[in-house]
Structure 1
Amino acid sequence: MDIRDVDVRNVDPGDGQAPMSSGHAPLLTVDGRGQVMSWSDAAERLLSRRAADALGRTVVDVLATLPEDGRWLLARVPDRPDGAVWGVWRAERDVAALDEAVLDAVFTQSSVGLHVLDRSLRLVRVNAYALGVRGLFEEEIVGRPVVDSYGRVGIPVDESILREVLRTGRPARDMLKRFHPPADPLREHIFSVSIYRHHDRTGEPLGLVVTAVDVTEREQARERLNLLHTVRERIGTSLDVGRTAAELVDVTVPAFADSALVALTDVVLHGGSPDLPPRGSAPLLRCAATGGRDTELPHDGVLLLPGLFGEELPTVPTLPPPGPEGPVALRIVAPLTVRGQFLGVVDFRRAPGSEPYTSDDLVLAGGIAARTATCLENALRFTREHIVMTALQSWPLRQEASTHRAVEVAQRHRPGGSGAGSWYDVISLPGARVGLVVGQVEQPGLSAVATMSRLRTAVHSLATLDLDPHELLARLHATTLQLAREASPAVGAEDTTASCTYVVHDPVSGRIDAAGAGGSLFAVVRPDGSVDIDPLGRAPLLGAEGPPFAFTTQVLPEESILCLASAPSADGQGPMTEQLVTALGHPGNGREETADAVEALLARDRVLLVARTLLLPESDLDEWPVLPDASAVGPARRHVDERLAHWGIAVDTFAVSVVVSELVTNAIRYGAAPITLRLIRGERTLICEVTDSAPTAPHLRHAKAVDEGGRGLQICGSLAESWGVRYVGEGKTVWAEIGTEGAG
């Protein structure tokens, strides 16, 4: 036997490359010098030779006596403490024959396409699977250049990549190739192609082996997941129904359909609350968005026929009956529904000759429609809230009859839809005074607008108590805290805060009393052009730290400008100080021009109130001191009668005399000097005020039938339209308003 017939392997059987024999023990072992160390019983039976005749002999002598009817395997024996020991096994079959058998099995039974190319890139062998997938015959392509063989049937082959692998030996793995094979021309297939260089025993390159695995289902599943991810990212970026419909078309064409049509109900398009249609009826649908290659799609806003999407509107994604193109499914109609509400439908279409839709595509269409329906519902909810918020914030500013004698007002409000709860008010106060209010709830949204409405009502209620501005804000702070406690935790109103500026202007003295909470804008412009951009400074928010709040008192000349604006949003910036000074520093401008200049510096949803202060003419005022003695009541009454006669006011003089007598008597009896009586002539009322230095306030008593006193204020209340008390410095002022004849 020739030693060349022995397969020598310098490997260990324990490393996964065990010798191909019927047992693990070798027939014989040889040491490093080539001498036989052991001779097994199996060797004696197989070779008919005793151990005594073999031990110590060289391996060459032993190999010369091996039978000629087989192949033998020589390999290192592992885990031997005596060093390098080799063993001899008998191979059960020819290794070359085994390799050929394995190769034949791969080429005939594998589901992986195999192509063997020579160094000239000619196709020398191809397996049956590759031929079957491509719909080709072996004799048509074998022996030809691979680029020509596949190129003529529309299968792309990149020759540059083949030559690069052949030149460098670096494999090219998992390259995705898309094409329509001749065996399945209506469906696009995706193959993962890998290229390897193979060699002979000397290492000389023989050519290339190209494998192709059909990964169509895997890649299509990945593409569906990617499309769903894109749908979630790109649909619903704006809270607008029409824009959401257009985004659905943009995302799915051409990734999922060649053309798409989105139809919505009239109720949805107009921002109403959708419901499922009654059984047996079909709601009116209008085209909301279209896109794609189909030139016959309707235009936006066109009313669509009920039967366009089938005899009945689908409740799940469906494949409508095939059209003229045959039984191929090239259309999917999916309803847009969410929580039992029907919003519309989406119609996906593919052009004739395209790959038909499958059941997996129906599932994908359902996911796209569900996401779109949710975004449409969010847009509808925002639209309804926006309508409510705009309606609540777009109230007309009431011009009270008495306020225009104290101030001339210009107001601005541009709703921007953010839900900022901003408000302003001009409130008529006793004594011809006027209250100016600007406020804003810090947290935006519909709940903020509702909170704003309640705070606005609270300001009106507190203003009737004739409180100082800082005292009014302290009580409004308590109201804000109460609203936060009463709110539902789901609304998130436990952190409700608000900013507010309240200014009271007295047209008799020109004095303003102002208080502020939060960062609302408040500026004062005097007729000489001087601008006080921040007379209050920043103060705690209502509902946050609480009082004391910023407060200031000033006496302003007539025709001064008061500018109030709500605070900027949390992420917004107000105008720069220089910009405000430039906009306000024009005393010659009227209130409207000033309001326009400041409005241009403010963001949307901020409210602006500009007031030009006025003083009452001296001819409408009369004031004189009253001695703290009961005998002074009569002269005071006569003085009032003379003044009324001089003014010529059509008023009940008896009622005025009684009211003046009671107010002066109370001040003399229960008040403290000095005492002052003042009359203010209004357009519709006569105002009587008695001021004294005592802090105690009178209160209305309901006297019993046998009581001799206690009916003074009760009589005043019945004769006057209204009466009240306000505190001034260390004292108080009791006032009453009596209507003139013909006022109403």
Structure 2
Amino acid sequence: MFEDVPPLPGTEGTAALGGVSAFALDHAVLDAVFRQSSVGVHVLDQELRVIRVTGPALAKRDVAEEEVLGRPAAEAYRRFGVDVDEHVLREVLDGGPPARDVLMRGRPPGDTGREHVYSVSVYPLYDPAPDGAERPAIGLVATVTEVTDRILAEGRLALLYEARERIGRTLDVERTARELVEVTAPGFAGSVVVALTDAVLRGKPPELRRPGETPLLRCTAVGGSGRTEGDAPLPEPGAVLLPGLFGERLPDGPELRPWDGGVRLVAPLAVRGQLLGAVAFGRPPGADPYTEDDLAVVEGVAAHTATCLENALRFTREHIVMTALQSWPLRPEGETRHAVELAQRHRPGGTGAGSWFDVIALPGGRVALVVGQVERPGLSSVATMGRLRTAVYSLTTLDLAPHELLARLHAVTQRLAREQGHGDGPGADEPAASCTIAVHDPVTGRLDLARAGSSLCVAVRPDGSLDTDLVDEGPLLGDDGPPFACSSHFLPEGTTLCLASSARADGGPSQARVAQALAAPDRGPHAMADDLAALLAPERVLLVARTLRLPASDVAAWELPGELSAVAPTRHAAEERVREWGLDVDPLTVELIVSELVTNAVRHGAPPYALRLLRGDSTLTVEVRDGAATAPHLRHAKAADEGGRGLHICAMLADAWGVRYEEDGKTVWAELALDAEEGGGGERTGA
């Protein structure tokens, strides 16, 4: 058709290239394009019929010219396995913009087993007018380039990117397996089956792979159609899949395996020689078969999934440890039920924030309420929390005031930082913790408080008034150090004390919302705790304690003159009160302990002097108070010594003894264990 095409306007008789006319050059270019170029060039007339096609494009698809030329585009290109949208062609022919890089898919006759992708661009053809006026298009020219390999490569890269973005978003092994299915089906595979080892599903560490051995695999996640090449149904979750779907043994890497008349792509999920599971991909009949490039993609996806599974498995094991640590030890509710009525809440979040609460029974019927939190989350923080809790239990045996106990705990935190290798340089990430300690005395109603860091600490009195200024905030443990804020209050019976772990990261509940949750003091601590727990951030703990008073019938007290002559009548009065209470304890033992403690106080202490007996469910406590701050010491008296045996006698007769220091003196106490049935279970009598 182009043999009679006139030269372009203005080029008649001019030399274009080496003396060759532009007319001859145009013909040479057209001949090169249609006879030699591998890029498909297609010319259509105004009726959208194919009037010329590059020869190599036809030869490559094994299509003769007579099968294409003169036929409508839609009919002609069906021979290439491509469906043409004539509306797009007509729009360009009628003056619309050119269509550029339109992707079309098809299966040519010579390769029906694989889908091909073509990039098509369509432009209008105009008959140049000498006067430059615009004329209607006389036809179309389309360029066609096969981009199958490029599209497949882009799809593989997109799959790898999506796998890294979407797989492993949660630290749960089963959810990670489902994410692998969601990413690969149905785009990459018609069906996907993910199986994990029995050990991984039970939260145990995976075993090293041994040559020729394959552990038990259970189906964990399934996706895609229920049928594949072999027309076999997909397994159900929980089903054992070896031998069977993955073969008698697992391959060392991605591999094509026959299965039930079809082919599957099987890949192990392994990290550093440890097998966590396997995945199998299948494609439906008529889909493109897997290639070597697909094996490489699956290898990358499987490696990323295995790493995520290992992380999830490690988190599962660490979470078990964290949960065990946070639930240790059991709360001695039986030992504190006469001092406070308790409600405890923990809002888990899975991050292991290192929050804890403790209720510790103290001598004299007192109780210590402890709430704390290590500042940075993680297993190391929970381990630090466990060591701090142990330190608190040990330090409470010293009968320290709350602010003094925090000072000792601060030193423990700093030592932990040194042991863990932190603090080597300025700005080091040292472990730090917040902690609030409250000690309630059910005999006097006194509450001693100390706080390190920030926490929720409020009290609701029986009249409904809310006190949010019980104690100021102090420096964090392991940070700036002592002195720590402290305060003392005398609370009426029935006051509700609310303590929660640090809320610095999220701001915590507002005072108005806390006041609303605690507005009705006639409600029980558990109802209040339920309302407050809903306001807490994840991984926070809460203690709600309703203060109680020890009944007057369980307390006997005497003020003593500072004379040794008062020792005998005092011990006889104590013996008589023990007999009135009907306690299962030797009265002579009580007499000896009272005698020695009172004698020591009068000889070595300072006035005022006082004796107090406290009847508990399981113990009888003897307390002797004096105004001196000097510490009594247990020593080994020589045979010729007249004194020095008092504390030794107390230590031998009592089950526990100690010294509690106060602002205006000290209290030496001794505890005697009672028989649970006879001492604490019967009806209490006496004044």
Question: Could you say which residue in structure 2 is the equivalent of 1:410?
Answer: 343
Out of 652, 657, 660, the residue aligned to residue 718 of structure 1 is 652
Question: Could you say which residue in structure 2 is the equivalent of 1:394?
Answer: 327
Secondary structure of 1:176's partner? strand
> Quick one: percent identity of the two aligned structures?
59
Indicate if the aligned counterparts of 2:13 and 2:21 stay in contact, CA closer than 8 A: no
Indicate if the aligned counterparts of 1:514 and 1:551 stay in contact, CA closer than 8 A: yes
Quick one: which amino acid aligns to residue 238 of structure 2? G
In our comparison, the structure showing a higher alpha carbon Rg is 1
Secondary structure of 2:180's partner? helix
Question: Could you say which residue in structure 2 is the equivalent of 1:585?
Answer: 519
Secondary structure of 1:249's partner? helix
> How many Å separate the matches in 1 of 2:123 and 2:570?
119
Question: Could you say which residue in structure 2 is the equivalent of 1:694?
Answer: 628
Cα offset, 1:466, TM superposition = 0.5
Q: 1:590 to 1:152 in 2, by over 3 A?
A: same
1:308 to 2:245 alignment: yes
Question: Could you say which residue in structure 1 is the equivalent of 2:64?
Answer: 137
> How many Å separate the matches in 1 of 2:203 and 2:571?
66
Cα offset, 1:206, TM superposition = 4.5
Secondary structure of 2:447's partner? strand
Runs of 4 or more consecutive aligned structure 1 residues displaced over 6 Å after TM superposition:
7-11, 490-493, 741-744
Indicate if the aligned counterparts of 1:108 and 1:129 stay in contact, CA closer than 8 A: yes
Secondary structure of 1:558's partner? coil
Question: Could you say which residue in structure 1 is the equivalent of 2:100?
Answer: 173
1:206-231 deviation digits (Å, cap 9, x = unpaired): 53322111111112111111111111
What's the RMSD between the two structures over aligned residues?
3.0
Out of 376, 396, 416, the residue aligned to residue 443 of structure 1 is 376
Q: 1:264 to 1:738 in 2, by over 3 A?
A: closer
Quick one: which amino acid aligns to residue 710 of structure 1? G
Cα offset, 1:386, TM superposition = 1.6
Indicate if the aligned counterparts of 1:336 and 1:346 stay in contact, CA closer than 8 A: yes
Question: Could you say which residue in structure 2 is the equivalent of 1:531?
Answer: 466
Cα offset, 1:92, TM superposition = 5.0
- With the length of structure 1 as denominator, give the TM-score of the two structures: 0.82
> How many Å separate the matches in 1 of 2:290 and 2:521?
73
Indicate if the aligned counterparts of 2:584 and 2:679 stay in contact, CA closer than 8 A: no
Question: Could you say which residue in structure 1 is the equivalent of 2:556?
Answer: 622
Quick one: which amino acid aligns to residue 590 of structure 2? V
Indicate if the aligned counterparts of 2:423 and 2:429 stay in contact, CA closer than 8 A: no
1:546 to 2:481 alignment: yes
Counting matched residue pairs gives 660
Q: 1:194 to 1:691 in 2, by over 3 A?
A: same
1:31-59 deviation digits (Å, cap 9, x = unpaired): xxxxxxxxxxxxxxxxxxxxxxxxxxxxx
1:425-481 deviation digits (Å, cap 9, x = unpaired): 221212221111122222222212111111111111111111111111121122122
Indicate if the aligned counterparts of 1:484 and 1:496 stay in contact, CA closer than 8 A: yes
1:319 to 2:256 alignment: yes
> How many Å separate the matches in 2 of 1:642 and 1:144?
124
Cα offset, 1:414, TM superposition = 4.3
Question: Could you say which residue in structure 1 is the equivalent of 2:606?
Answer: 672
1:685 to 2:611 alignment: no
Question: Could you say which residue in structure 2 is the equivalent of 1:467?
Answer: 400
1:644-674 deviation digits (Å, cap 9, x = unpaired): 3444444333333332233222222222222
Question: Could you say which residue in structure 2 is the equivalent of 1:334?
Answer: 267
Structure 1 residues 34-433: aligned runs within 5 Å: 91=18, 93=20, 95-151=22-78, 154-168=81-95, 171-200=98-127, 202=129, 206-295=138-227, 296-321=233-258, 324=261, 330-395=263-328, 397-399=330-332, 402-433=335-366
> How many Å separate the matches in 2 of 1:599 and 1:105?
81
> How many Å separate the matches in 1 of 2:582 and 2:45?
124
Question: Could you say which residue in structure 2 is the equivalent of 1:22?
Answer: none
> How many Å separate the matches in 1 of 2:582 and 2:72?
120
Q: 1:655 to 1:293 in 2, by over 3 A?
A: closer
Q: 1:409 to 1:95 in 2, by over 3 A?
A: closer
Quick one: which amino acid aligns to residue 104 of structure 1? D
Secondary structure of 2:256's partner? coil
Cα offset, 1:640, TM superposition = 2.8
> How many Å separate the matches in 2 of 1:269 and 1:724?
51
Secondary structure of 1:309's partner? coil
Indicate if the aligned counterparts of 1:390 and 1:415 stay in contact, CA closer than 8 A: no
Secondary structure of 2:67's partner? helix
Quick one: which amino acid aligns to residue 109 of structure 2? P
Cα offset, 1:113, TM superposition = 0.7
1:329-368 deviation digits (Å, cap 9, x = unpaired): x421111111111111111111122211111111111111
Quick one: which amino acid aligns to residue 316 of structure 1? G
1:386-409 deviation digits (Å, cap 9, x = unpaired): 222222223463326542222232
Question: Could you say which residue in structure 2 is the equivalent of 1:32?
Answer: none
Quick one: which amino acid aligns to residue 685 of structure 1? T
Cα offset, 1:500, TM superposition = 1.5
> How many Å separate the matches in 2 of 1:523 and 1:316?
61
Quick one: which amino acid aligns to residue 601 of structure 1? L
1:727 to 2:664 alignment: no
Out of 506, 509, 518, the residue aligned to residue 441 of structure 2 is 506
Where does the alignment leave 5 or more consecutive residues of structure 2 unmatched? Answer: 1-6, 228-232, 681-687
Cα offset, 1:93, TM superposition = 4.7
Secondary structure of 1:264's partner? strand
> How many Å separate the matches in 1 of 2:360 and 2:68?
95
Indicate if the aligned counterparts of 1:72 and 1:91 stay in contact, CA closer than 8 A: no
> How many Å separate the matches in 2 of 1:601 and 1:669?
56
Cα offset, 1:576, TM superposition = 3.1
Cα offset, 1:604, TM superposition = 4.2
Question: Could you say which residue in structure 1 is the equivalent of 2:672?
Answer: 738
1:295-330 deviation digits (Å, cap 9, x = unpaired): 4111211222413222321111011147636xxxx4
> How many Å separate the matches in 1 of 2:288 and 2:517?
66
Indicate if the aligned counterparts of 1:135 and 1:181 stay in contact, CA closer than 8 A: no
1:167-226 deviation digits (Å, cap 9, x = unpaired): 448543322222112222111111122223444564665533221111111121111111
Secondary structure of 1:319's partner? strand
Cα offset, 1:511, TM superposition = 1.0
Quick one: which amino acid aligns to residue 183 of structure 1? G
Cα offset, 1:9, TM superposition = 12
Q: 1:579 to 1:92 in 2, by over 3 A?
A: closer
Secondary structure of 2:475's partner? coil
1:643 to 2:577 alignment: yes
